[in-house]
Chain A
Amino acid sequence: MKPWQITIIFIVALTLLASGSLAFARTRLVVLPARDAAVLRLAKGLPTLVQENRVLTLSKGVNPVDFSWQGVAIDPASIILCPLTGPDEARLLSVSYPPGENALVWEVYSSTDRELPVVISYLLQGIDHLVTHEALADAAERQMTLSSRLVLRNFSGENFPRALITLDQDTEFASLSRTGETRQIRFFESAGIPIEKTYVWDSSAMPHVPDPDGPAPGIPMGYEIRNTSEAGLGQHHLSGGKTRVFQQDSQGSSIFLGENQMDPVPVKDRTLLILGDSRDIQVTLRRMKTRKTNTRKNKAGAVQVYDEIVEDKFLVENFKSAPGTLTLRHVIPGQWEPVDMEHPYTLKAHDTLEFDIHLAPGEKKSISLSYKRLNLFTGRFSRYNRF
């Protein structure tokens, strides 16, 4: 069995007919040019582009070069032959596809007998990649080491004994890849990356009043990192992928904190990795009052439009022996205006308020909000009250 399934049969025509039409002599010299090197260009969500460097031995005139493949899936329309010389010395004249074959024939013109270095590019199926990350946070949860691994899955039917692998155009390294194997290669590591620990409570997703007899809902906790040079990153974008986060412990070992799917992080951007739930910070939201005002009625006396004053009360408890900052996200649907907000907030969207609540160890905090929902419709337009 040949190690490679992709072959180039280089057919040199010894004689050419003077009429200008191409014909082959009975005697042929068949050359199998070795693959010098291959570049595997990997990009997320796109087929893998293979680029091979080969050297063709050309005679003066027009040379047919047969490129065929078996047992691999190449997109025939993607195959490109690129001579690495000037167009006056050698150039590609035509491409033809034999019927019923996984092959194509290039006609390459050469001005002299020569060895012509070329790059052959094609899209190969059955080979792709994943990126996984592993992070190790320090015991104080202030810094972490991030390492990234490429998982090269080669089920293409083709072996690449020496391949230069490029990942998203800004990372490259050499490796081999055999068909049927999955290879994991660490291609990036950076230590001392600052992390910011964050707790997020979202009123649109969390229960307002925890069930006294049921499990307490955990508050999602995660680390925020920035892809900047100040953070020891910022050299290139961080590829998206499953990220497993560990933390050093006092026993010289580590524990697993959780995993999440990291979205690609462009340079200067940030990402938040939610790792698990905190059950030492608890939030209870109670609606203390709703009161209708400014009612507008029709002639029959039925209310058509009204405003509503709402009073909500958050009780936030920190059972930890360490301080923490909770991001409390509250959603108020529809048109509204503040009446009396006890705590400063950031308006993330017209209906989304974010409160940063700093909690001392063991601290309990109560935060009351009063706001007015405006122009609430009754009847058939009531569905517009949420938008």
Chain B
Amino acid sequence: MRPFQFKAGPGGGSRHWMRKNIQLAVLPILALCLVLPAAGFAKIDLSTLSGRDNVQITIYKSRDLTLVRDSRTLQFAKGDNRIQFSWANTRIDPTSLALELKTSTDLVSVKDMVYPPGAKDLAIWHIQAKQACQAQIDILYFTSKLSWQSYYMAFVSPDGRTMDLKGYVRVTNQSGEDYARAQTRLVVGKVSLLDKIADLAGQRYPFGRPDLMNAKDQAMRAAYADGMTLLKEVGAVKRSVPARPKKITKQGMSEYFLFTIEGRQTIEDKWSRRLVSFEARDIPVTDTYTFEAERYGAQAIHRLVFHNKKEDSLGAAPLPGGAIKVYQSLGSPGALAFKGADTTDYIPVGKQVALNLGPSRDVTVTPRLMKLEKANLIFDAKGNITGFDDIRDIKITLANYSGKTAALEVIRNIQSPNSRLSRVETQGRVEQTDQDTFTFYNMLAPGQTQTIQYRVTIQYRVTIQRGDAR
């Protein structure tokens, strides 16, 4: 089946050529028989298809998955009708095809759906109509290779106390199908999928096939497929020019969040489209610094902290994960300094965000071992050593060379549950995070230096397992 192309709008530039690989034909069986001797099916085509009413695409972020809802108004003849749907050169999952009757089901009912022998990328619904009538239907299917990404730009105020945050979404279509004037919806959330949609789309047989002997009746298949013709949708798609940026409305759905882009989008195959997701101003931010040698090495990490909550000019919706670039305004218009970049995960409403802007040169943390002592040596009856206490005095020097007050957290992993902290001296506070982790919290004024001192005692005993000295 060859892709069908038509010119989609005035101007006639190459970008207006749109490919239509999805085709829909309605063939009343009685009418088909009557018209078969004639040269073509133009009459049937014209009388039975009223064109695509509406297309809605719902694109998922966590998976290569898009739910397409294609709405049509169809004319049915009394008796059996067949609707043929074909999707050559697209990424449609044939097992997901479904037909929903939107109007009264008393007159029209779906009997079954067949993937005919010998035909690829084609399905036929058998629909029974009690009388000739018009009915609205939705055809639903999954497709792959439509995707969207979110990303952000943050502009921190010159005094570093607030920031403006701009969120963007970019929709990319690699599906092989153009979606003209589609209502576009974006879903944030992790859905469970048993199979990749792209794999299902590439299957020779929609649901696979059982193991079998080599028996094929090509003539039968050809006869069955005979009499079907395809209706090719034609018509120009008007390219609307919005007078202002599109709005994106947000709605919580079960565990997911649905972003609906205002109006309709035409997303051609191989194209991307960027939209502003939201814009928030004057979000309170704080600079914090984290030191954890095991995770980040010898340097303190600079974090920019804010909350996704209404009191802080956010909180209308969760923030989808995405790359974020942070700039600082330098005061004069347009003067910016790049502070760093991070990639955020999904941020629920109410959650604190701590962007990792990388190692800081302005705030330093220097731990030093000041004293090492082995005490309380224990021996067994044979004189073998079976335990001792490891005593270490630690001094940590904190320095803030930035021009602002720095909130610093120093995480110390003792790496033994049999440990005890004593002789703690700090100008801040200390919390036991878990059995072998302590966190010191200190505030440093600009240019200030502080020290933290403590003693950690670890008991090592040969008690647990052979060779495991604890």
Contacts and interface: CB of A to CB of B under 8 A. Distances in A.
B210 A127 contact: yes
Contact of B220 (A180, A279, A379): A180
Contacts of B82: none
Given A73-B212, A155-B210, A321 B254 contact: no
Interface residues of A, number: 88
Contacts of A157: 212-213, 215-217
A259 B193 contact: yes
A249 B216 contact: no
B237 interface: no
A280 B194 CA distance: 23
A277 B216 contact: no
A1 B65 CA distance: 43
Contacts of B379: 301
B295 to A, nearest CB: 8
Given A251-B260, A255-B67, A288-B435, A277 B118 contact: no
Contact of B434 (A151, A251, A274, A288): A288
A255 B220 contact: no
A286 interface: yes
Contacts of A261: 194
A127 B212 CA distance: 8
- Interface size on B, as a range, is 35 or more
Contacts of A282: 348
Contacts, number: 232
Given A182-B114, A279-B255, A257 B210 contact: no
A376 B465 CA distance: 10
Contacts of B209: 126, 153, 155, 182
Nearest to B215: A157
A232 to B, nearest CB: 19
A184 B220 contact: no
A343 interface: no
B293 interface: no
A382 B470 CA distance: 15
Interface string A269-288: 00000111111101000111
A197 to B, nearest CB: 8
Contacts of B221: 180
A370 interface: no
Contact of A126 (B142, B215, B220): B215
Interface in A41-84: 71-73
Contacts of B304: none
Interface in B359-387: 378-382, 384, 386
A157 B216 CA distance: 6
Contacts of B220: 1, 3, 159, 178-180
Given A185-B111, A382-B464, 9 more contacts: A125-B212, A153-B208, A249-B251, A253-B58, A256-B60, A288-B434, A290-B435, A313-B434, A321-B349
Closest 3 CB pairs of A and B: A180-B117, A157-B215, A126-B212
6 contacts: A181-B117, A290-B417, A302-B462, A306-B464, A311-B435, A319-B349
